[in-house]
Structure 1
Amino acid sequence: MGKITGFMEFARVKPAYEAPESRLRHWKEFVSPLTEEQARIQGARCMDCGVPFCTHGCPVNNIIPDWNDLVYRQDWKRALDVLLSTNNFPEFTGRICPAPCEAACTLNLNDTAVGIKSIEHTIIERGWQEGWVVPQPPARKTGKRVAIVGSGPAGLACAQQLARAGHSVSVYEKSNRIGGLLRYGIPDFKLEKSHIDRRLAQMEAEGVEFLPSTYVGRPEHAEDGLTVVTPEELLAQHDAVVLAGGSEQPRDLPVPGRELRGVHFAMDFLRQQNKINHGDRIAKPINAKGKHVVVIGGGDTGSDCVGTSNRQGAASVTQFELMFRPPEEEDKLLTWPYWPIRLRTSSSHEEGCQRDWAVGTQAFEGKGGKVEKLVATRLEWLKDKATGQMKMREVKDSRFEIQADLVLLAMGFVSPVRSVLDAFGVDADGRGNARANTDDYCSSRAKVFAAGDMRRGQSLVVWAIREGRQCARSVDEYLMGASVLPR
């Protein structure tokens, strides 16, 4: 590394955040990239550690030490080339990835990790500013046609790789805009949608065709106003089809009172706000203004609901988690270099939220068909002596109630929507995902591949990008007999 003692000389520096009282008044991003000098110093913290566990911790296997060293040397163009060699969309991961690479950083074992995510963010933004991120159309066309169903990160990564290999690629999306989870599942204050739009412009220049408001499946399952394309039509018109939709079936909470007005799935709430920010008109929007909001689920989606509720003007926001409160700091000697379980406080939590752990929801109650309160109990988690598994049980006499005018269910997603898999006649695994392995991403039906959350289940954007890239190589090998695309 360029600065062999940098990790001993420099402290980790976090990006600058706009103050909560200011950022709650708008929907724009509030995290600033590092300055070039800050990034250079942070790059100097990267150790000559011998084995780069960060690269193994990163799902797309970013070559992190190399671009850290190049940033330290101020060779920004080569740093960008190294970054883009493994990741199609670092402007997305540099903003919303939880950074498993940093958990695996060797310096993280006894110090604070290298600020890998913030350096990545700075590199790609410098690349866009300098005009280095340009279309890469293929030198020749293969004459092969590929359809990709779903325009989230897996579908977009797969589409870009295949287009650059010379195939004619069409991306089908049932929503009115392209982007999938990136467009409608992630709030604007974490990812402004202009970043998606500039990537789409690049991909269109590379030859990718985008078909929004188009449902692929059986007509009876399509919403009104959508163009419908059946699987048979798609397969007849293309040499290969990639199923890259999301894991869209949310986990429900079947307790008394679930049918009351004011109890909603988190993604319905988040999707509506993103559409409103785009200028769409929503007939009956779900709005937290002046309401006491309860978010059930402690993950990223729950955190997004907290930030969105506060920006809408909620009277209060409470977030419940079924699991026990994790420790403030992990035992690194036990967990490193793997992703640790520890207490994580997001920027949305810092904006105002009451958090509670080991809470089990028993019922929703209300009047006139409208929810007014949530009934819950405390839980304790005990290890089963026979199996070693953690099991929960209610704490005696721990029942309590909380005012709730709006309840948002953010407990994750269980599987893709089954109607899509059934329409293609694709086998599902035990969890309801499309059955396909990571060797070739082939489904049980000829010409049909599956990647991303539709194959692996609910996961991270960076995992979706990895699967899209690997699936693209498999499709290219299937069509051409060999592939020069990276895996």
Structure 2
Amino acid sequence: MADPQGFMKYKREEPLHRPVPLRLMDWKEVYEEGREGLIEEQSARCMDCGVPFCHSACPLGNIIPEWNDLVRQDRWHEAFERLHATNNFPEWTGRLCPAPCEGGCVLGINDDAVTIKNIELAIVERGFDEGWVQPIVPTFDTGQHVAVVGSGPAGLAAAQQLTRAGHDVTVFERDDKIGGLMRYGVPDYKMEQRFLDRRLEQMEIEGTEFRTGISPTAADLAEFDAVVLATGAAIPRDLPVDGRDLDGIHQAMEYLPGANRVAAGELDVAPIDAKGKKVVVIGGGDTGIDCFGTALRQGAASVTQFDIRPRAPKTRAASTPWPMYPLVWRVATAHEEGEYTITGSEPPEATEALGLNARVTGEALGKRVFNVNTVAFHGSEGKVTGLSANEVEVIDGKRVPMEDTDFELDADLVLIALGFSGPERGGLPHELGIQFDDRGVMMRDDEYMALRTDLEGNFDGPVFVAGDNGRGASLIVWAIAEGRACAESVDRYLMGESNLPRAVEPKDMPIGM
């Protein structure tokens, strides 16, 4: 059983962050290694509740109380095995997931939740350090060939599960490297690409084949017995206001991949560089935060992030009672960097690298503003120079402008980060006759099988849908859960039965979290 006094003996404590001036000089992770014994103490705060809401809040069904208590007892290898029983890639979710499990933590009713995400990451990193992460090579070959189109977390989870079940799996990726948005969307300061590469190496040894730089056609898939579409929700939402066609206004996913390629040594300078520019990021979600932190590292003169939503309260909002994922004020590491005030005492190397001499001492590096709606962009000689905006309030469920709140802001670079509207419809989905619903996502049944029209000359094998292209843009943890569950459906279709785990059903999945 859990330590009955653990939650009283220890307060929530998270690893420290590297100093802002130093971490803005590189693309390495922002966290410092925690002190010895920290994770064991934090795991002792878990109460091993009779009804573990953290377990149900996790889309993967992670057995959280069990591995928490195993860590508390210094039984790390057993905790490692429990963790991998439900999650193929805990080192990714431990870095990138917003932790809905912590929102459902029972301790969070009247205290700070257990640091579940940090414990998860510590377990898997201990596993890599100790050599516990080993390829699981299948002991037999089913003779079945499966194509997985898309190499994000959903596609990779499906591919690994199907490979381990004995199928011959090929992953197709149109970019030049495997990883999807984890490779060319998530900044390295949130997850360095080496954490992606080492897991891909494991998958290759297990037998998964990767083919990059190709968008397969239906003809390319003719040799396969089943196809999994895990292409994500790649169509960005736009901002159709006056001046949108000016140079210097870009979608977030036009901007972020270049910075990732610079961090990987593939480019010397990003195609879209914020250095010395007044940057405005429109959108308050994770992608907007990624743009915020990236622009700071590129040496932007200033960064302002617009969020059309009101500022969240410091304590859980009444609209999101426990065990829902709480609406509460959060400060991302990028925002922590934006709040940093230049003192003039920065180390010389930071001053030179970041151009701090060109900034006014005492000036914050960036800021975010709330209840703001962008009305129009302005420019000169075809290039954006600023924008007009106003503050809004919600009346009868609609956002309406507030009187006398109009303002203008200078901008040399505008990044639109308003989320994604759905998957692409042309190309392979069109060839395969995939049907789309009113939300613009691919339609599928309870077995993850795509609903299709009958097109002459079409690939006539089974097509399955997993990830954001079937549920809409969502979290990495949902993508992995869908990939695992979809793999079970594919395996059962091909073999008549399956021993692969299946934690979630499409109809059980809430939209938007």
Q: In the alignment, is residue 402 of structure 1 matched against residue 409 of structure 2?
A: yes
Summarize the alignment of residues 138-153 of structure 1 with structure 2, pairs less than 5 Å apart. 138-153=138-153
Q: In the alignment, is residue 270 of structure 1 matched against residue 256 of structure 2?
A: yes
**Candidates 278, 295, 302, aligned match of 1:292:** 278
Summarize the alignment of residues 3-402 of structure 1 with structure 2, pairs less than 5 Å apart. 3-35=3-35, 37-216=37-216, 230-234=217-221, 236-281=222-267, 285-331=271-317, 335-352=321-338, 353-382=366-395, 384=396, 390-402=397-409
| Deviation by residue 1:278-317 (Cα, 9 ceiling, x = unmatched) | 2224897101000110000000000010100000000000
Deviation, structure 1 residue 331: 3.9
AA in 1 matched with 2:212: P
Q: In the alignment, is residue 471 of structure 1 matched against residue 486 of structure 2?
A: yes
Q: Distance in 1 between matches of 2:180 and 2:32?
A: 25
* Contact 1:109–1:333, Cα closer than 8 Å, also in 2: no
Q: Which residue of 2 aligns with 1:227?
A: none
Say if 1:271 and 1:333 are closer, same or farther in 2 by CA, change over 3 A: closer
Q: Which residue of 1 aligns with 2:444?
A: 436
**Candidates 426, 429, 440, aligned match of 1:421:** 429
Say if 1:242 and 1:269 are closer, same or farther in 2 by CA, change over 3 A: same
| Deviation by residue 1:178-212 (Cα, 9 ceiling, x = unmatched) | 00011111000000000111101100011000001
* Contact 1:95–1:190, Cα closer than 8 Å, also in 2: yes
Q: Which residue of 1 aligns with 2:458?
A: none
Q: Distance in 2 between matches of 1:4 and 1:341?
A: 29
Task: Describe the SS at the equivalent of 1:466.
Answer: helix
Q: Distance in 2 between matches of 1:347 and 1:23?
A: 10
Task: Describe the SS at the equivalent of 1:418.
Answer: coil
Name stretches of at least 5 consecutive residues in structure 1 with no aligned partner. 217-229, 385-389
TM-score between the two structures when normalised by the length of structure 2:
0.89
| Deviation by residue 1:114-148 (Cα, 9 ceiling, x = unmatched) | 01011011100000000000000111010000000
| Deviation by residue 1:313-366 (Cα, 9 ceiling, x = unmatched) | 000000001122221211479610011222221010111121111111111001
Deviation, structure 1 residue 95: 0.8
Say if 1:464 and 1:31 are closer, same or farther in 2 by CA, change over 3 A: same
Say if 1:314 and 1:240 are closer, same or farther in 2 by CA, change over 3 A: same
* Contact 2:262–2:269, Cα closer than 8 Å, also in 1: no
* Contact 2:103–2:323, Cα closer than 8 Å, also in 1: yes
Say if 1:199 and 1:76 are closer, same or farther in 2 by CA, change over 3 A: same
* Contact 2:449–2:465, Cα closer than 8 Å, also in 1: yes
Deviation, structure 1 residue 423: 2.5
Higher mean C-alpha deviation, range 411-420 or range 200-209? 411-420
Task: Describe the SS at the equivalent of 2:107.
Answer: helix
* Contact 2:2–2:48, Cα closer than 8 Å, also in 1: no
Q: Distance in 2 between matches of 1:207 and 1:177?
A: 18
Higher mean C-alpha deviation, range 176-185 or range 33-42? 33-42
Q: Distance in 1 between matches of 2:330 and 2:194?
A: 28
Q: Distance in 2 between matches of 1:118 and 1:283?
A: 34
AA in 2 matched with 1:310: L
| Deviation by residue 1:363-383 (Cα, 9 ceiling, x = unmatched) | 10010100000111111112x
AA in 2 matched with 1:377: N
Say if 1:35 and 1:125 are closer, same or farther in 2 by CA, change over 3 A: farther
| Deviation by residue 1:384-420 (Cα, 9 ceiling, x = unmatched) | 2xxxxx2111112321100010000000000111114
* Contact 1:4–1:48, Cα closer than 8 Å, also in 2: no
Q: Distance in 2 between matches of 1:23 and 1:283?
A: 19
Task: Describe the SS at the equivalent of 1:241.
Answer: strand
TM-score between the two structures when normalised by the length of structure 1:
0.94
Q: Which residue of 2 aligns with 1:447?
A: 462
Task: Describe the SS at the equivalent of 1:472.
Answer: helix
Task: Describe the SS at the equivalent of 1:288.
Answer: coil
AA in 2 matched with 1:401: E
* Contact 2:317–2:328, Cα closer than 8 Å, also in 1: no
Deviation, structure 1 residue 67: 0.2
* Contact 2:262–2:270, Cα closer than 8 Å, also in 1: no
Deviation, structure 1 residue 81: 0.2
AA in 2 matched with 1:277: A
Higher mean C-alpha deviation, range 397-406 or range 282-291? 282-291
AA in 2 matched with 1:435: M
Q: Distance in 2 between matches of 1:110 and 1:168?
A: 50
The number of equivalent residue pairs is: 466
Q: Distance in 1 between matches of 2:367 and 2:16?
A: 24
Task: Describe the SS at the equivalent of 1:59.
Answer: coil
| Deviation by residue 1:82-127 (Cα, 9 ceiling, x = unmatched) | 0000000000011111111001000000000001011011100000
| Deviation by residue 1:21-70 (Cα, 9 ceiling, x = unmatched) | 11000011121354551111111100032100000111111000000000
Say if 1:102 and 1:284 are closer, same or farther in 2 by CA, change over 3 A: closer
AA in 1 matched with 2:496: G
Say if 1:68 and 1:283 are closer, same or farther in 2 by CA, change over 3 A: closer
Higher mean C-alpha deviation, range 271-280 or range 131-140? 271-280
Q: Percent identity?
A: 53
Aligned alpha-carbon RMSD (Å)? 1.4
Task: Describe the SS at the equivalent of 1:205.
Answer: helix
* Contact 2:259–2:270, Cα closer than 8 Å, also in 1: no
AA in 2 matched with 1:348: A
Q: Distance in 2 between matches of 1:332 and 1:356?
A: 23
AA in 2 matched with 1:160: Q
Task: Describe the SS at the equivalent of 1:335.
Answer: coil
Q: Distance in 2 between matches of 1:65 and 1:45?
A: 10
